[in-house]
Structure 1
Amino acid sequence: MQPVINYLNTNSGEIINSLGQHLTISFIAAIIAILIAVPLAIILINHRKIGELVLQITSVIQTIPSLAILGLLIPLVGIGTIPAIIALVLYALMPVFANTYAGLTNIDPLLMEAADAFGVSWRFKLFKIQIPLALPMILTGIRQAVVMIIGTATLAALIGGGGLGTYILLGIQTNNNNALIVGAVLAAALALIASGLIRLLAKVPLKYLTFAIIGIFTLAGIGWGVKSLEFQQQETITIAGKMGGEPEILINMYKDIIENDQPQIKVKLKPNFGGTSFLFKGLQSQKIDVYPEFTGTVLQSLVKTDKAIPHRPRLAYQQAQKLLQSQYKMTYLAPMQYQNGYAVVVRRSTAAKYHLHTIADLTQFPALKAAFDPDFYQQSDGYPGLKKFYHLHFQNVKTMEPALRYEALAKGKVAVTDGYTTDPQIKKYKLVVLNDSRSFFPPYQGAPLVRTEFARSHPQIIKSLNKLQGQITTKQMQTMNYQVTVQHKKASQVAHQFLQQHGFLVQKSSKR
């Protein structure tokens, strides 16, 4: 447990922020679901056929995989918290509506007949008889919905919604069990606490329960207002990064350089925001202002082109820059020196035994066991292209998740795997990157990507970001990745230390 405790202490600020995001998303989704499902059930008390139809519809929604719902919502409402909340509301409707409807329609008919005989109004009958009698079932439905919402909200991290799912995904991608345990345990604990609180609410008289709900809404509104005022006091720009340690290092560098040059600007970071498509859509929809992207990724995944990807880094960048501007009105700033491109990796002992120096040397040893990332195994710039280009044909090839393939290589279960040139595992396991002597792999140089409109209105920010042009070697980035991923240092500290050591920060930031 000590490594988990150390991880909690080291990342306490970020974890608390993710916990707050998780609570916010879950709270908003639960309130919206209750405000829709409970009144709808009340309206349909005397319309049984329509009530059964609504019950069937909400049940069908529950059978749709959550990832499918998120995928359908992205083209309509973009990425971030909004599609995550909508998906959670859709999932929560069924338990809240079903229990409320069942509770209201299964009240003893004799009680209802007695109320009618006394000539009470429908309002009196609803609030003094029906709702109090149905309240235990209503709260049961709400409890089920809240527990489900908190658990499902971890998927919000897939579309840049934040929350505790960020640590679960980060743990899976980087093979960091500490992050995985923190995310999973906190989400489970949050669900149990919420369930227990709702159980306690079932014992509270209805009128006090009403006051409690009003108080919660009031406090939430005050908190939201204070937060909005804080952001209005100074200009805020949002910088996001993909999953993993390296993108987090880069966005912290961007933040430090911008705030060092222009203290009046507040930079908001969104680390582990999601994959390439989510970040690009976030940039288009103005949910984020800057994110680091790689030339090879731009040319293969973002822009439309019939041209082959140039193998010279400068030409690849120029092509990516031109296409981003013409197709999307995006400005691609000048790249850094290092490349985070594909690589073929072996153990040092394997390289020595078979005298391996280049990828071409592997053609003489087809019996070596290979394990590749599923994407690398299928993509044209991965193993399929590598086979044709180098005439490379392994007799035994497996696909393996990125976090596991290095471990399998280090333990001798496989002899060859793919990787990225800045992966910290290369340093950790003292592996050998075989030279791509014929330049098969396309260039992957990182650079800030912004909307052209943003670049024109923020020339000083662009000037600050351009300080990283041609800076940071592959070895330097690999070392920083090692510090974050293997030694579990905070990305913000590693980035700040590098910038200070290399003279990028003229004066020490007052916020540190």
Structure 2
Amino acid sequence: MKKFYKYGLVAVLVLALMASVFGCSGGKTGEQKNAGTSVGEKKPTIVIGSKTFTEALLLGTMTYQYLQHLGYPVENKVGLGELAVIRPALESGQISGYWEYTGTVLINVMKHEPSFNEEECYKLVKDWDAKNGLVWLDYAPLNDTYGIMVRKDIADKYHLKKTSDLIELIKKGEPIRFVSTQEYNERPDGLAHFEKVYNFQYPKKYIINAALNVGYEALKAGQAEAGLAFTTDARVKAYGLVLLEDDKKAFPVYNAAPVFRKEIIDAYPQLPEQMKKLSSLLDDKTIMELNRQVDVDKKSVDEVSREFLKQHGLIS
């Protein structure tokens, strides 16, 4: 009788433990149903990466926060690295997705001629990466291309409005110090392409290589006269700098879009439509304002991202 009681008690305890375990997992399954997960199905974790500049950090962080809110199993690897680091990470499966720029892949990965048409550029990279097991979701309206900026006193002194105006000064031998980055100077769509389109060669003694995003600070501090800018960077306006017109169209289109590994989209077929709700909100003006809050107002990327998502009802 004692033996029966002993095993009977063990059975009751086991059943109670199983009920407890399945009861807990039932709650998780309920969350994951919103992300397209069915009971008993093991779905992959979505590892979100990003490049390291402010805009990329914002895009990656918003994606991570949004997908986390939707109930997806996500991992944060935002700020992983630039193209030479993050593209291989996506291809190898170290990360599941990140925001990339259409022109970047077209020129630097595909070794294709630059495109100045948004739809054409997007289709080219989307079709190319489909063969690589990568899926480009709908691109955002924002076009974060390159531009040439100068200090306002320099623009006023030489009456600079177009990039060609600046090139003429350089050809005349004016000592115009230009802040760039090592990556830009080595990219196929970088300095060499810029020089080719505008038919000149920048004197190496006047080129200053700096870390990404330092150029704005250098111009503000008077340490250079001109520099490479991103057209959606709010510091151009905030620092009183002048963005010159790219009158010879040296800088192609660079629409931002989420790119995911195919197995992630296969596992979560609702993801493209859910991500479209985010990407459709991000035009030049909107992303510039978000960049401003981080770079000028010195708010954290996490705070700015979360507030934007809440404001548009994407998270609560």
TM-score normalised by structure 1 residue count: 0.49
Amino acid at match of 1:463: E
| CA root-mean-square deviation | 2.5
Amino acid at match of 1:360: S
Which residue, 259, 265, 275 being the options, matches 2:82?
275
In structure 2, distance between residues paired with 1:492 and 1:393: 41
1:245, distance to aligned residue in structure 2 (A):
2.4
In structure 2, distance between residues paired with 1:283 and 1:255: 16
Amino acid at match of 2:292: Y
In structure 2, distance between residues paired with 1:391 and 1:309: 17
Amino acid at match of 1:311: F
Retained in 2: the 8 A contact 1:377–1:399? no
**For the pair shown, which has the larger CA radius of gyration, 1 or 2?**
1
**Higher RCO (CA-CA < 8 Å; seq separation 6+):** 2
- Map residues 410-421 of structure 1 onto 2, 5 A cutoff: 410-421=220-231
Which residue, 129, 142, 155 being the options, matches 1:351?
155
In structure 1, distance between residues paired with 2:233 and 2:167: 24
1:321, distance to aligned residue in structure 2 (A):
0.7
Amino acid at match of 1:484: V
In structure 1, distance between residues paired with 2:279 and 2:293: 23
Retained in 1: the 8 A contact 2:265–2:272? yes
Retained in 1: the 8 A contact 2:146–2:228? yes
Which residue, 123, 136, 158 being the options, matches 1:332?
136
- Map residues 20-59 of structure 1 onto 2, 5 A cutoff: none
User: 1:115-138, CA deviations, whole angstroms, 9 ceiling, x for partnerless residues?
Assistant: xxxxxxxxxxxxxxxxxxxxxxxx
Which residue, 300, 317, 330 being the options, matches 2:107?
300
Cα 1:302–1:504 change in 2 (3 A) is farther
- Map residues 74-153 of structure 1 onto 2, 5 A cutoff: none
Q: Which residue of 1 aligns with 2:288?
A: 478
Question: Aligned to 1:243, what secondary structure does the other structure show?
Answer: coil
Q: Which residue of 1 aligns with 2:166?
A: 362
In structure 2, distance between residues paired with 1:491 and 1:449: 21
Q: Which residue of 2 aligns with 1:289?
A: 96
Q: Which residue of 1 aligns with 2:116?
A: 311
In structure 1, distance between residues paired with 2:245 and 2:262: 37
In structure 2, distance between residues paired with 1:267 and 1:256: 9
Q: Confirm whether residue 258 of structure 1 aligns to residue 67 of structure 2.
A: yes
In structure 1, distance between residues paired with 2:65 and 2:109: 28
1:280, distance to aligned residue in structure 2 (A):
2.5
In structure 2, distance between residues paired with 1:377 and 1:283: 24
Retained in 2: the 8 A contact 1:362–1:392? no
In structure 1, distance between residues paired with 2:168 and 2:252: 24
Which residue, 486, 489, 496 being the options, matches 2:306?
496
Cα 1:387–1:276 change in 2 (3 A) is closer
1:477, distance to aligned residue in structure 2 (A):
1.6
Q: Which residue of 1 aligns with 2:209?
A: 400
In structure 2, distance between residues paired with 1:392 and 1:490: 40
In structure 1, distance between residues paired with 2:105 and 2:54: 20
User: 1:205-258, CA deviations, whole angstroms, 9 ceiling, x for partnerless residues?
Assistant: xxxxxxxxxxxxxxxxxxxxxxxx9xx976642211121322221122223433
Question: Aligned to 1:471, what secondary structure does the other structure show?
Answer: coil
Retained in 1: the 8 A contact 2:108–2:187? no
Cα 1:257–1:410 change in 2 (3 A) is same
Q: Which residue of 1 aligns with 2:40?
A: none
Retained in 1: the 8 A contact 2:118–2:253? yes
In structure 2, distance between residues paired with 1:268 and 1:383: 36
Amino acid at match of 2:151: R
1:469, distance to aligned residue in structure 2 (A):
3.8
Structure ranking higher in helix proportion: 1
In structure 1, distance between residues paired with 2:284 and 2:84: 25
Q: Which residue of 1 aligns with 2:197?
A: 389
Question: Aligned to 2:177, what secondary structure does the other structure show?
Answer: strand
The unaligned stretches of length 5 or more in structure 1 are 1-228
In structure 1, distance between residues paired with 2:244 and 2:313: 33
In structure 1, distance between residues paired with 2:293 and 2:133: 36
Q: Which residue of 2 aligns with 1:374?
A: 182
Name which of structure 1's ranges 267-276 and 337-346 shifts more when overlaid on structure 2.
267-276
Q: Confirm whether residue 446 of structure 1 aligns to residue 238 of structure 2.
A: no
Amino acid at match of 1:254: T
Retained in 2: the 8 A contact 1:311–1:442? yes
| Aligned residue pairs, count | 271
Retained in 2: the 8 A contact 1:344–1:419? yes
In structure 2, distance between residues paired with 1:409 and 1:399: 11
Which residue, 321, 325, 345 being the options, matches 2:126?
321
Q: Which residue of 2 aligns with 1:209?
A: none
1:346, distance to aligned residue in structure 2 (A):
0.6
Retained in 2: the 8 A contact 1:282–1:288? yes
* Identity across the alignment (%): 27
1:259, distance to aligned residue in structure 2 (A):
4.0
Question: Aligned to 1:459, what secondary structure does the other structure show?
Answer: coil
User: 1:148-195, CA deviations, whole angstroms, 9 ceiling, x for partnerless residues?
Assistant: xxxxxxxxxxxxxxxxxxxxxxxxxxxxxxxxxxxxxxxxxxxxxxxx
Retained in 2: the 8 A contact 1:363–1:393? no
Q: Which residue of 1 aligns with 2:37?
A: none
Question: Aligned to 1:418, what secondary structure does the other structure show?
Answer: strand
The unaligned stretches of length 5 or more in structure 2 are 1-24, 33-42
1:393, distance to aligned residue in structure 2 (A):
4.7
Q: Which residue of 2 aligns with 1:101?
A: none
Amino acid at match of 1:459: P
Question: Aligned to 1:435, what secondary structure does the other structure show?
Answer: coil
Question: Aligned to 1:369, what secondary structure does the other structure show?
Answer: coil
Question: Aligned to 1:365, what secondary structure does the other structure show?
Answer: helix
Amino acid at match of 1:334: D
Question: Aligned to 2:87, what secondary structure does the other structure show?
Answer: helix
Cα 1:424–1:273 change in 2 (3 A) is same
Cα 1:248–1:353 change in 2 (3 A) is same
Question: Aligned to 1:493, what secondary structure does the other structure show?
Answer: helix
TM-score normalised by structure 2 residue count: 0.76
